[in-house]
Amino acid sequence: MKTSLKIAMVLAITFATMQHVNAQIKFGPVAGLNISNVSGDNTDNNSMLLGAHLGGLVNFSLSDNLSVEPQVLYSMKGANVELEDLLGGSETYAYRLSYLEIPIWIRYQLESGLNFQAGPYIGILLAADFDGEDAKDGMNSFDFGVGGGLGYQLENGLGFGLNYNLGLANINDNETDEDFSNANNCIKFSVSYTFGND
């Protein structure tokens, strides 16, 4: 409940601020590919896991070049985890984490359409599974971090983006094991389409 309230407050402040500066508003869907991993303790044998993200964006123009862009996404993260079996060999298991994720990008766009973006993100854990088994118990229900990247925006509203998200929160529940810390890392390839273009 506290996490949901924090997210609602962040979004409310963002929307209120943009209204006061008479920003031009654009909106639309965004979707793409996630290439994620988990860093931290006992992750030497981890490898990248493919996932996806899907949601929507609202872009508030502050000037000809500068804008603020909150997004609301369903985002799949995690890692492939290699573990030893009883015979001394190894098996690879998929460790999948699904989040309701809200990045808030500060975006600077050049006249050519090339843009650069950076900002924080927050996420609420929706589901977690390890090799098909529920693994949500023992996981932190809240994630946050920072990200940055670049993109290209066409005049017809179609946009492409590439960014990297660095998790700063321990995805493990500290009440379960205070000495065991891991964080999300994710590369995102996105395609978007915005309405309300000039």
Percent residues over pLDDT 70 in the chain: 81
Q: What span, in angstroms and rounded, lies between the C-alpha atoms of 184 and 60?
A: 28
Candidate CATH numbers 2.40.160.20, 3.40.50.450, 3.30.450.20, 1.10.357.10; the one for domain 2-193: 2.40.160.20
Q: Please answer whether residues 57 and 73 qualify as being in contact, where contact means their C-beta atoms are separated by less than 8 angstroms.
A: no
Average the pLDDT over 17-34 and give the result.
Answer: 80
Average the pLDDT over 134-151 and give the result.
Answer: 94
Q: What span, in angstroms and rounded, lies between the C-alpha atoms of 7 and 76?
A: 19
Whether residue 96 is predicted with pLDDT greater than 80 in this model: the reply is yes
What pTM was computed for the model?
0.84
Average the pLDDT over 128-141 and give the result.
Answer: 89
- Give the pLDDT band (50/70/90) at residue 153: very high
> Average model confidence (pLDDT) for the chain?
87
Burial of residue 84 (CB within 10 Å: 0-12, 13-18, 19+) is exposed
| Higher pLDDT among residues 104 and 23, named by residue | 104
Whether residue 28 is predicted with pLDDT greater than 90 in this model: the reply is yes
Q: Give the domain ranges of the chain.
A: 2-193
pLDDT of residue 168: 96
Question: Which residues lie across from 37 on neighbouring strands?
Answer: 185
Q: What span, in angstroms and rounded, lies between the C-alpha atoms of 183 and 1?
A: 23
The sign of the dihedral angle between the CA atoms of 117, 119, 125, 126 is negative
